[in-house]
Every structure is written in C-alpha cells, then in structure tokens.
Amino acid sequence: MQIKWTEEAPRKIQRYAGADYPAENPDLEDVLTSADVDYVAEIFQTPLSGSYNWDYAIQDDRIKKLYDLGKQLNWDPEMDIDWDRPWPAEERAPEMMNLHDYEPYLAMDEKTKDEFWLHMNAWSLSQFLHGEQGALLVASQLCSCAPTLNAKLYAASQTFDEARHVEVFNKYLQQRIGMMYPINTHLKSIIDKILTDERWDMKFIGMQIVIEGLALSAFATARETTPDEVLKDVLYLVTRDEARHVTFGVNYLEEFIKTLTDEEREERAQFAYEACAISRERLVATDVFRHFGWDVEEARKKVLEGFVMSTFRNLLFQRVIPNLARIGLLTEKIRPKFESLGVLDYENLATDGDIDWSVLERPLDTQEAQSYEQTMMAAFAKKHEEEEARVDSAA
C-alpha cells in the first residue's frame, strides 16, 4: 500500500481505463489503472468530544424504528443493480444550462459537444461521490458524539449506508463513465466546517438537514433526467437511504433545539444559512468550464442568469427550508437572509418530521425503482409555465 499525503484536495481530473463509456481518448498517459494508483489522503484535525452512554435504554420511538428499517432495507451494489445494461444515447440540454446561445458552446463541433456533456455528467456525479464520503466521515463521528444510545445506533447504521453510497457512485464513475472530477471547493468548505466543529448538533444540522436534504432533491432530479437505467437504479436505492437519514435528523433535532438559549439557537440558524448559501454555489460546474478553456466567470454568470438554472437552484431547497422551520432554525433574525436567496416559498411544505412509514418501509423492488414518480421536474415545469405566462401577460 502506497499512501500519498496531501495538504489539500487534489484538483486534477482522473480518468479510468475499461469504462463502458471511455472518457475521451483511452490512450492518454494519465489514465489510471489498479496497478499504479496511490492512496491519496488529506488530514483534517477535529476537537471532537465523544460520549459514552451507560444506561443502555433503547426507547421504542421513531429513532428506534428508523434504525430497525436501516437493518431491514440493506442492499448490495453488486447484487441489486444490473451493471451490464448498455450505455444509452447521451442527451444534450443546452437550454437548461442557458448555453443554447452561448458562443463558446456554439463554436464546439459535435464531438466536442458530446465530450462536454459527458464532463458535465461526470462532474455532477463526482460531487455526489465526494458528498457521500463527507457524509460517511460525519456519520462515523456521530457514533462517538451523539448523546443517546438510539442516536449512536442509528449513526452506526447510517455509516454503513454512506459507505455503500461511496461504493456505488465510485463504481458508476469508474465503470460507466471512466472519469472523475475533484471535489467542488464550495462543497469541500462545508464538509470541512461540519467535520471540524466540536458540537455534535452542528454536525446534525449541517449534514442531516442541509447537505442530505439538498442531496435528496438533486438525486430526484438526476434520476428523472438521466437516460441511463443503471443510474436510475443507483439513485433510487441511495434516495431510499437518504430519506431515512433526513427524517432521523429532523426528529432528533426538533426537541433538542428547544433546549437551547436564544443566542445558541441564532448561532445554529446562522450556520444553517451559511451552509445553504454556499451550497447554491456548488451547483455551477466551473471546473468543466475551465477544462474546456472558457472564461470561467463569464460562463458562470451566463449559466446563473438562465431561468432554468436559477429556478432549479431554488427548487433544491424545497425539503431543507420546511425542515429548518420545523426544528426552529428559521428564526426572525435569519429569515431576511433566506428571503434574499429566494427560497422562503417552500417554508410551509410538508416536512420530513411527519413520517410516511408506508413509503419508508417499501420493500426493495427494481420494477418499482423504474416506475417511481419524482416531483422535482414537475415542480420546475409548473414554475416555468407560470414564468412564461407572466412574461406573455406583461407583453
């Protein structure tokens, strides 16, 4: 085993030999094989304080039931996903990214445009992978620092879930796409903050409420828009797990936040806001723009100016905002800041604290995975229609 220690996350795109969809030129010198890969590791320091629990009392409550579901609904990426299905035809979406009239994109030939969309796909899925490793590390910390036995047991089951998610996204990127992008710097800064904060509830808020709440919405959209049936199955299975994780966070934090002082509550509300604000920036694939030689800031502004992207960025918060309101972190002081992000419209939507056990207890079923209806794109289509109607009426 050869370990390469680094002071920060590597910024190089990785390519892998033998993928179903070979990334660009498979003869490139920097294609990685199992024989020449170093274990690249970055050290972080944390003042984490752990806690024992000596009464071993397990309450028969929602947390216990969620833990039981975690045991019952385990799945295996090698056995429950058919990886041999053929790669589908790639679909381009320049309008969705507001690139349909962007000169650097229009100047590309057809082959380069295909490569561009492959890179966009690789970048998005790479962020899913890196986010899942962050969740794996945070969940392992919660095993030590969560104050009750039920929470420790659930955190242990979540740690195994997150390990499985890292495994499945890693396999998909290496086997199906053959390329992996480095972690987005905004996502990395959030994970660093969560991992290195000494307070256990900050970890719950950052990971269980914000990052995983956003991930649920992002997974739903990716699952609905991808033409790859393999990825549809991957995202369905991961989403089943993540729904339990967010539900756990909401139920566990709801009572705890009430015990805090006003000053402590405001501090946590500010942290949640900052995590949300930074998360909105991680949705822009600036590394891809840079790879293709575009003016990064110009391309970023172009993408963000589009109606589709601006609306989509806000739609991602349709689970996070009502959950923050439920646990008491949408305070009067912090509300104007969320208002400036344009996401308070979702405040009164259903929260993950009201558990639909019939949904969470669904047995693993690949046929259901293919037919399971998502709501993210339907919500976007409705907003798009409303915006077009508003523009037409104004004209």
Query: Please, which residues have CB within 8 angstroms of residue 88's CB and are 6 or more apart in sequence?
Result: 227, 228, 229
Q: What is the pLDDT of residues 224-237, one digit of tens each?
A: 888 899 999 999 99
Interior angle at CA 223, CA 217 and CA 227, nearest 5: 150
Q: Residues near 343 by Cβ (< 8 Å), separated by ≥ 6?
A: 276, 314, 317, 320, 321
Q: Token pair for residue 138?
A: 């945070």
Show the low-confidence residues of the chain (pLDDT under 50): 26-29, 32, 372-374
DSSP category for residue 87: P
Closest CA to 180 of 295, 11, 37: 11
Task: Return the CA Rg of the chain.
Answer: 21
Complete edge-to-edge strand list for the sheet that includes strand 179-180: 31-32, 14-16, 179-180
User: CA–CA separation, 373 vs 209, rounded Å?
Assistant: 23
Q: Round to whole Å and give the CA distance between 297 and 299.
A: 5
The pLDDT score that the predictor gives to residue 93 is 80
What is the structure's pLDDT at 363? 79
Confidence (pLDDT) at 164: 97
Would you state the pLDDT for residue 133?
Answer: 97
Read off the pLDDT of residues 285-301 as tens digits, 9 standing for 90 and up. Answer: 999 999 999 999 999 99
CB 69 within 8 A of CB 248: no
Measure the CA–CA gap between 76 and 187, rounded to whole angstroms.
Answer: 27
Give the chain's length.
395
Long-range contacts of the stretch 30-39 (C-beta < 8 A, 24+) = 38/2, 38/3, 38/4, 39/1, 39/2, 39/3, 39/4
CA distances for 173 relative to 36, 97, 121, 187, 214, angstroms: 18, 22, 10, 19, 21
b/e code 232-263 from CB counts within 10 Å (16+ = b)? bbbbbbbbbbbbbbbbbbbbbbeeebeeeeee
Distances (CA, A) of 38 to 2, 35, 265: 6, 9, 44
Q: How far is CA 338 from CA 69, 208, 263, 314, 345, in A?
A: 34, 19, 19, 11, 10
| CA quadruple 68, 71, 77, 79: dihedral sign | negative
Structure tokens at 104: 């650097």
Phi, psi of 153 (to 5 degrees): -65, -40
Domains, the chain, in order of start with CATH, read 73-394 (1.20.1260.10)
110 exposed, middle or buried (CB, 10 Å; 0-12, 13-18, 19+)?
A: exposed
